[in-house]
Structures are given as C-alpha cells and as structure tokens.
Structure 1
Amino acid sequence: MTLFQKGATYERISKADAGDEDGVIRQGEDTAELAARRGIPIEGRRFRDNDKSATHGRHRPDYERLMAAVKRGEVDVIIVYLLGRLWRNRRERAEGIELLRKHEVSVLCVKGPELDLTTAAGRLLAGLLGEVDTFEVEQMSEREQREMRQRVERGQVPTGPRAFGYTVDGTEIIDEEAAEVRKMFEAVAAGASLSGLATDLNKRQILNRNGKPWTHNAVRYLLLNERYAGLREYNDVVYPGKWPTIVTEDQWRQAVAILTNSSRKTSPGPARRWLGSGLYQCGVCDNGNTVTSAQRPKVKSRLTDPALQGYQPVRTYKCRGPVKHLQRVAEPIDQLIAGTEPGRPLGLVPQLLLRDDAAQLLLDEERPDMDELSAKAATLRARLKNMTDAFAEDDEADALEFKRAVRRVRDRLTEVEQQMTSPARAAVLGDLVASDDVIAAWTAMTLDRKRAVIDMLMTVTLLPGKSGRAPFDPETVRIVPKSR
C-alpha cells in the first residue's frame, strides 16, 4: 500500500503555439500513469499551466493554487514529469522547498528520483537538480542573447508579431497600411492627440495588425517603434536595419520627443470634440485657466417646426476653475476663430493663412542668426530677378546655361529658407501655407489639427459676454498672436 494518500499532479510547458496543449496533455498522461502505478489517489487535485514560463517568476495560476492546497494540508505528494516543470529559478525553488518541508510534502518525478523534502538529503538532492535546471536555462538564455545581438548588428529583420505596415516576414511594405503609418507620424507632429488618431482610424474602419479597433496605447506603441525608421534598439544602442523604411529617422525621433515630453498630457481619455475645449482661456481668472466644454439644458429651437416640439442643446464654454464664473455660447466664438461657413465672415485663422505673406508664419524668429539669413535670402531673390531681367534683354543668351544658373541660385535660396523655418511650425502649418486652396485644406482638417494650428498661432481668451439677448460681441474675445 502506498504511503501517500493525497496526491496532486502538476504539468507545465513554457512555450506552446496558440491553442496547442499536446505537450501538457502528454505530461498529464505520464503523471497520471505514475500515480496509478503507485496507487496514489489524485482525484480533484490536478494542476496545469500551459504556455507559462517559470524562469522569471511570472504568474502561474495553477501553481499558486497547488501551493495554496499544500498550505491547507490537502496534498502530501506532488507528481511531476521533471523537477524542472515545478521550479526553474532559484528564488521560487528555495521558497517551494521550504514550504514543502514545512508541510511534509514529497515530490515524485516521472523522469527523476523521489524527493523526500522532510529530510536534509532530499532537500540537498532537490537543490542540486534544481541548480542543473537553472544552469541549463541561463546557458540557453546567453546563447539566445548572443544570437539576438548578432542579428541586430547585421541589420536583420526583427522576429515576432507582424508590424502594421509590413508583411509577416517584415521584408516588404504593405502600401495601404504604410500610408496610414505615415499619416499618423505626420498628424502627431502637427499636434494630433493619440485618442484622436485612434478615433479617426476606427471611424474609417482601419483595423490594427490583429484585425481589431485601435486604442490610444496601440497608436502610441506604433509611433514609438523605431522599426518604422529602419532602426533597431538593443541594450540601449540603436542599430541600422536592412529592411525598407516607412518614415525617416527624423520623423520617428520627432514623434518620440513629442510623446515622451513630460509636459504632454498622457491620459488616454476620449478625443476632444469641440474646438476650444482645454485651449481657450478664462479672462475672468486671467491666470492661464482653460475653459472646458459643457451643455446648457436643452432649449426649444426656433428653427424647428413648433408642432414637432424640437429641442436642441446649446454648446457652451465654461471656466475649468472651482468657481464657474464664466459660461459662453460656443458657436459664435468658434466661428470668429475658425469659421469658413458661406455667407458669414471668414474666421481669423483662415484669414491669416490666406495672406500673401503667410509663409512668414513658418519662420523661427528665435534663431540668433535670423537677420543674417533674411539678408541672404533677400540677396538671392534679388539675384534671381536680375538674372531674369538680364536674360530677357539679351537675345544671344544661352537658355540652357541660364536655367542651370537659376537652378543653382534657387537651390541656395531653398536651403536658406529651410534654415529660417521652424520645424515645429512647418509640421503644423506647412501643408496649409503651401496649399493651392487654403480654405478647402483648412475645412478638411481634423479637429486635432485645427486645434494645433490655433494653439500655434494665437492665445484665445474669453471675457464675460453681455447680459440678456444682446448679439455676440467679438470684443468679448481677446486674441493675442503668439511670437514665432
């Protein structure tokens, strides 16, 4: 008759393909066979962790339930295929051996000895066998790390899950997905929020690499992934890769700088729905407090047939501070700042973008050499004009030589103008200033982009409106241009 009356089995596989349980099933068959051969009852005490590593002490639900059963005195022997299935790291092994010693629990191995952990000899043997297991794991880890470093140094494509924008093997670009990746990098550089990007992707039914809707964190992870710039980080060192890139290194580094800025709001809350929420400031406090969006109780709409009893909520902006001393109807304020509605005055932002000198909005006036660069640019423009005038009056001038000379001067002018341009302003305003149809480009922009443009150009402060039914007064909105 067996000495053990409360047997338990434990099976574990570190890595298994999705849905593959053949490995732990085989272990279970062998441990059950050993229990039957020894006459050890195991009913209701079978524990199994599939695809769970024990090397780093990660959460193993059934192992924890097994140890809880040991503490309750419900187990007097644990049957495993190998001792390494029970423990793989030193800390967990030491804790486990002490727990089994305290509760007088032995270990039986299908491939290995019987370990009586109530004796010093049994604990010594368990410790020695465990050290062999740990040595094998650490040696394998060292080989894998060396192989990984070699792959990185050679610029080979990263292994693992497919990256959005690339094929499964990572060697080719999927054009449709890559276009969305580029849009995301451009949008975050232009001031878009992560939640707003996720909302836009989901609205257009663009699914992530797993075929699921996008989340704030999924967009953030993509933008921080150096793989899109053809780079790979290993042990805090960035190496160049040999796979096709989707964005430039500068674009990726700009996104990283934006997303890791400590002053950036990181809450993955809902995307902004209104133009001035958290952007316009309260002129009553006048201390930098921003206003938030709100809705007044629904009022009857004058535009609706009275017979239909139509009611509409009124969007408002109110102070974010503890005292709600400011509340303004949102629509006329937003129209004043950004409106393009036909038949109504054009908003201040579109007016700025339509000016002949709108390109000046891109200049970085904080550059210490801005005067010198401006002088160079003026000289080059004058040279171009003189060259054009001279060519027009010289019937014998060589047209090909003229074109080459003009191209050289224009290339130098472009270089100087790029030096004069603020990268941040170019990211936010560049496509608008360069657009052939500014109004259409502005109207088509997402709310995030419009907010970024407003924040780049001006500070909007709301003052108390006039009481009663007085018409909207633009003087109750203070606009202060921001310096470049």
Structure 2
Amino acid sequence: MTPFQRGGTYERISKADAGDEDGVIRQGEDTAELAQRRGIPIDGRRFSDNDKSATQGKHRPAYEQLMAAVQRGEIDVIIVYMLGRLWRNRRERAEGMEILRKHGVSVLCVKGPELDLTTASGRLLAGLLGEVDTFEVEQMSEREQREMLQRVERGQVPTGPRAFGYTADGSEVIDSEAAEVRKMFAAITSGATLSGIAADLNARNILNRNGRPWTHNAVRYLLQNERYAGLREYNGTTYAGKWPTIVSEDEWRQAVAILTDPARKTSPGPARKWLLSGIARCGVCNDGTTMTSAQCQSRTAGKIYASYRAYKCRGPVKHLARKADPIDLLIAGTEPGQPLGLVPQLLVKEDAASLLLDGERPDMDELAAKAAALRARLRNMTDAFADDDEADALEFKRAVRRVKDRLSDVEQQMTSPARTAVLGDLVRSDDPVAAWAAASLDRKRAVIDMLMTVTIHQSGPGRRRFHPESIEIVPKIG
C-alpha cells in the first residue's frame, strides 16, 4: 500500500509554439501512469505550465497554485517527469525545498529517484540533482550567448519574427513596405505624432507584419528599431550589420532622439483632428493655457439652427469660445480666390529660406560672411564669363559647380536640423502653396507650432463678423 494519499502532478515545458501543448500532454501522461502504478490518488490535483521558463523567472501560475495547495495540506507527494521540470534556478529550489520540508511533502520523478524532503539525505540528493540541472542550463546559456555574440560581430541578420520591410529571413528588402518605413521616419522628423502615423497607415489599408492595423506603440517600436539603419545592439554595444538598410543611421538616430525627448508628450490618446487644438493659447487666461476644440451649437429662442467647430479654453471656466473655421483660414488658408493664410504667405516669400537658419549658432556671422563671399564670387564669375568671348564653357561650368558645392555646404551648416526636417521641403518646393495644401494635419500643426505663437482673444463687436485683429500672432523665428 502506498504511503501517499494526496498526490499532485506538475508538468512544465519551457518553449512551445503558439497553441502547442503536446509537450505538457506527454509529461502529463507519464506522471499519471506513475501515479496509477504506485496507487497514488490524484483526484484532479493536476498543475501545468506551458511555455514557462523557470530559469528566466517567468511567472508560473500553476506552480504557485501547487505550492499553495501544499501549504494548505492538500498534497503529500508531487509527481513530476524529472526534477528539472519543478525547479531550475537556485532561489526557487531553496524556497520550494523548505516549503516541502515544512509540510512533509515528497517528490516522485518519472525519470529520477524518489525524494523524501523531510530527511537530510533526501534534501541533499535534491540539492545535488538540482545543481546538476542548473549547471546544464547555465552552460547551455553560455554557449548560446557566445554563439549570439559571434553572429552579432559577423553582422549576420537577426533571427526572430519578421521585421516589417524585410523578407522572413531578413536578408532582402520588400520595396513596398520599405517605402512605408521611410515615410514613417520622414513623418516623425517633420512633426507627425505616433497616433497620426498609425491613423494614416490604417486609412490607406497598410497592415503591419502580422496583417493587423497599426497602433501608436507598433509605430514607436518600429521607429526605435536600429535594424532599419543596419545596426544591432547587443549587451549595450552597437554593431554594424551586413543586411540592406532602409534608412540612414542619421535618420534613425534623429527619430530616436525625438521619441525619447523627455519634453515630448507620451500619452497615446487619439490623433489630433483640428489645426490649432493644443497649440493656440487662450488670451483671456493669458497664462499659457492652450485651447481645445469642440462642436458647438447656435441657438435662438432655445432652438438649434447651426452647428460649428469652436476653439475653447481648456480651463475649468469656459470663458472663451471662438468659431474655428475663420481662424484656421487666417492661419493656414489656401482657398481659391481668398487671401493666403499667414503660414503660406511666409513660405512664398523670397527670403523663405531664412526660416531654416539656426540663429543660435555661435559662428553664424562667420558662416554668413562666407556665404555672402561665395555668392559674390559666383556673380563675378558669371560676369567675367559673359565678357570673355574666348572663355572655355566646360571649365566655367566646373568652376561654378565647385563654388556652388562649397556654398551649399556652408548653407547646410547654417540651417537648423529641426527646422529643416519640419520646413525644408515646403520652403524648397517649386510650389510652396500646393505643398502646404497637400501636407498632413500633423505636419501643418508642427509647422505652425515652430513658426509662431497663436493667441486667441475674445471677438470684437458684432457676433457675426470675424475680426482678424482678435487673433494675436507672435513669430518664433526671424
């Protein structure tokens, strides 16, 4: 007759494909067979963790339930396939052995001995067998880490799930997806939000690598993934890879800098829907409080006759509400037959390129003098060529190209990387008005926030008439 009357089984497998329970099922069959052969009643006391690594300290709910049952006196013997399925790190083994000793619980192994943990010899054997298991796991981990380091040092393609933009083995670029990756990097550096980028992808029915819609967190993970710049970080060190890149290292680092900026708002929230919400300031509070947007209704004698968008103060007292459409047109309008908004007016000015200059550079005066000298040299070269009938046209073009390249380099040094990312292609466009009109809402908001501070004051006399002077504009640049 068996000395055990309250048996419990425990099965665990460390790695399993999604939905694959064959490993724990096989262990369960073997532990049940041992219990039956020894005449140990189980009565439903079966505990199983699938794909749970004890070595890495992952949460094992079934193991915790097993230990709780032991402490309640419901189990006097635990049946496992082998001791390593129960404990595989020293801390858990020491804690578990003490619990089993205290409550007089033994361990039976399908592949291994019977361990009476109420005796010193039983605990010694369990400790020795456990140390062998730990040694094997640690040795395997060391081999895997060394192999991983070798792969990283050789620049081999990372293993694991497919990265959006690459084939399954990571060795080739999928052109259509890579184009979307580049758009995401360009968008974040030009002022777009993560939610806005995700919304744009979903609106165009571009699905992620798993065939699902994008979330702001999925976009964030992608933009911070050094793999797209041909890099790989391992144990705090960055290594160069030999797979094809999708963006440059500079583009990737710029995106990471933006996303990890402590000043950046990290609340996911919904993507912005209106031009100035969260940007324009309330002129009544005059304390930096920003405006939010809402749908308002006009009433006469209690009857609703119109609905309109309005900018309202965020403060507890809604003392300011202004119709949004005329304010948006004043700032950003490109309506045919109507005056251009303030932003497109700035973009079409002859000196619009000055918006890109970094006025805080300590050597700006020196760079400006160099640029002026090079421009003067170009004019003199052109005049000299026009006056010299025997001048060599090919030599003239080469000389002009060299001077222009030097001028371009100086001008690049004079520009602000942040301003260039947000404003560059708009300022340099052949049709800045059309480029502005085609820009996304996130882009327009980033441009406005960079160029000016917009403060909305209470409207003047006459409720039906918009007074532009009630909108205060203070330039931030120039």
User: What is the Cα deviation at residue 22 of structure 1?
Assistant: 2.3
2:447 corresponding residue in structure 1: 453
Shifted more, 445-454 versus 289-298: the winner is 289-298
2:27 and 2:81 in contact (8 A); partners too:
yes
> For 2:234 and 2:183, how far apart are their aligned partners in 1?
27
1:105 and 1:118 in contact (8 A); partners too:
yes
> For 2:93 and 2:382, how far apart are their aligned partners in 1?
85
2:36 corresponding residue in structure 1: 36
1:369 aligns with 2:380: no
Q: 1:414 aligns with which of 408, 428, 435?
A: 408
> For 2:57 and 2:3, how far apart are their aligned partners in 1?
32
> For 1:470 and 1:313, how far apart are their aligned partners in 2?
14
Counterparts of 1:420-435 in structure 2, within 5 Å, are: 420-435=414-429
> For 2:173 and 2:163, how far apart are their aligned partners in 1?
10
> For 2:296 and 2:103, how far apart are their aligned partners in 1?
67
User: What is the Cα deviation at residue 482 of structure 1?
Assistant: 0.5
Q: 2:432 aligns with which of 414, 432, 438?
A: 438
> For 2:462 and 2:381, how far apart are their aligned partners in 1?
65
2:289 and 2:315 in contact (8 A); partners too:
yes
Letter in 1 for 2:373: T
> For 2:386 and 2:261, how far apart are their aligned partners in 1?
54
1:303 corresponding residue in structure 2: none
Q: 1:253-290: per-residue Cα shift (whole Å, max 9, x none)?
A: 11111111111100111111111111001112222111
Letter in 2 for 1:446: S
User: What is the Cα deviation at residue 483 of structure 1?
Assistant: 2.9
SS at match of 1:374: helix
> For 2:195 and 2:306, how far apart are their aligned partners in 1?
27
> For 1:310 and 1:414, how far apart are their aligned partners in 2?
59
SS at match of 1:261: coil
1:299 and 1:313 in contact (8 A); partners too:
no
Q: 1:332-381: per-residue Cα shift (whole Å, max 9, x none)?
A: 11110001122322110011111111111111111121122112112211
Letter in 2 for 1:260: T
Number of matched pairs: 476
2:54 corresponding residue in structure 1: 54
CA change 1:312–1:145 in 2 (3 A) is farther
SS at match of 2:41: coil
User: What is the Cα deviation at residue 219 of structure 1?
Assistant: 0.8
1:393 aligns with 2:407: no
> For 1:296 and 1:105, how far apart are their aligned partners in 2?
71
1:479 corresponding residue in structure 2: 473
Counterparts of 1:76-155 in structure 2, within 5 Å, are: 76-155=76-155
CA change 1:341–1:100 in 2 (3 A) is same
Give the RMSD, CA atoms, in angstroms: 1.6
Shifted more, 229-238 versus 60-69: the winner is 60-69
SS at match of 1:208: coil
1:252 corresponding residue in structure 2: 252
Letter in 1 for 2:234: Y
2:189 corresponding residue in structure 1: 189
Normalised TM-score (structure 2): 0.96
1:268 corresponding residue in structure 2: 268
SS at match of 1:15: coil
Segments of 5+ residues of structure 1 without an aligned counterpart are 301-308
CA change 1:280–1:119 in 2 (3 A) is same
User: What is the Cα deviation at residue 61 of structure 1?
Assistant: 2.1
User: What is the Cα deviation at residue 78 of structure 1?
Assistant: 1.0
1:78 and 1:105 in contact (8 A); partners too:
yes
User: What is the Cα deviation at residue 157 of structure 1?
Assistant: 1.1
1:199 and 1:271 in contact (8 A); partners too:
yes
> For 1:311 and 1:285, how far apart are their aligned partners in 2?
30
Q: 1:374-409: per-residue Cα shift (whole Å, max 9, x none)?
A: 121122112112222222232221121111111111
CA change 1:94–1:313 in 2 (3 A) is farther
SS at match of 1:405: helix
1:323 corresponding residue in structure 2: 317
1:356 aligns with 2:350: yes
User: What is the Cα deviation at residue 6 of structure 1?
Assistant: 1.7
Q: 1:59-92: per-residue Cα shift (whole Å, max 9, x none)?
A: 1122222222223322221111110101111111
User: What is the Cα deviation at residue 293 of structure 1?
Assistant: 1.4
> For 1:207 and 1:142, how far apart are their aligned partners in 2?
38
Counterparts of 1:210-289 in structure 2, within 5 Å, are: 210-289=210-289
Letter in 1 for 2:15: K
Letter in 2 for 1:358: A
Shifted more, 102-111 versus 17-26: the winner is 17-26
2:157 corresponding residue in structure 1: 157
> For 1:483 and 1:375, how far apart are their aligned partners in 2?
21
Q: 1:401-432: per-residue Cα shift (whole Å, max 9, x none)?
A: 11111111111111111011111110000110
User: What is the Cα deviation at residue 470 of structure 1?
Assistant: 4.0
1:63 corresponding residue in structure 2: 63
SS at match of 2:11: strand
Normalised TM-score (structure 1): 0.95
2:179 corresponding residue in structure 1: 179
Q: 1:1-52: per-residue Cα shift (whole Å, max 9, x none)?
A: 2111221111111112233222222212211111111111223122211111
Shifted more, 291-300 versus 205-214: the winner is 291-300
1:469 aligns with 2:430: no
Letter in 1 for 2:185: F
Letter in 2 for 1:140: M
1:299 and 1:314 in contact (8 A); partners too:
no
> For 1:289 and 1:233, how far apart are their aligned partners in 2?
42
> For 1:400 and 1:47, how far apart are their aligned partners in 2?
85
> For 1:312 and 1:193, how far apart are their aligned partners in 2?
32
> For 1:457 and 1:3, how far apart are their aligned partners in 2?
83
User: What is the Cα deviation at residue 312 of structure 1?
Assistant: 5.1
> For 2:385 and 2:460, how far apart are their aligned partners in 1?
63
User: What is the Cα deviation at residue 311 of structure 1?
Assistant: 6.1
